[in-house]
Amino acid sequence: MTDANPQTEYDSPWKQILQLYFEDFMLFFFPQAHREIDWTRQPEFLDKELEQVVRDAELGKRVADKLVKIYRIGGEESWILIHLEIQTRVRVRL
């Protein structure tokens, strides 16, 4: 018997989008934080470091997480954790 709803990889495109459009993402969703980031320094995406801390990716959850190292205008290093849950069907709660 085949599964009518096979498990699909939904988080990979979101992870790629977050990485490609990180500055725009921050500007749109977090404009105040965007102003505090030194955009002359390239953000560093810490995928390997995140994998060491988070094991849910192996459980098949539709989650797009990114850990990003940035530098603030004042020069200090900060890390930003972005967590998105991708909903693929409508849930009706009664």
Question: In the chain, what is the straight-line distance between the N-terminal and C-terminal CA atoms, in Å?
Answer: 31
Between these two residues, 57 and 41, which has the higher pLDDT value? 41
Helix (H), strand (E) at residue 53: helix 47-53
Flag whether 91 is in a domain. no
Q: How far apart are CA 77 and CA 43, in angstroms?
A: 10
Question: In the beta sheet, which residues pair with residue 81?
Answer: 67
Flag whether 31 is in a domain. yes
Domain count, the chain: 1
Flag whether 6 is in a domain. no
pTM of the model: 0.70
For 4, phi then psi, to 5°, come to -70, -25
pLDDT, one tens digit per residue, over 62-85 is: 456 888 999 999 999 999 988 877
Averaged pLDDT of the chain: 80
Flag whether 35 is in a domain. yes
Q: How far apart are CA 91 and CA 89, in angstroms?
A: 6
Domain of residue 41: give its range.
11-85
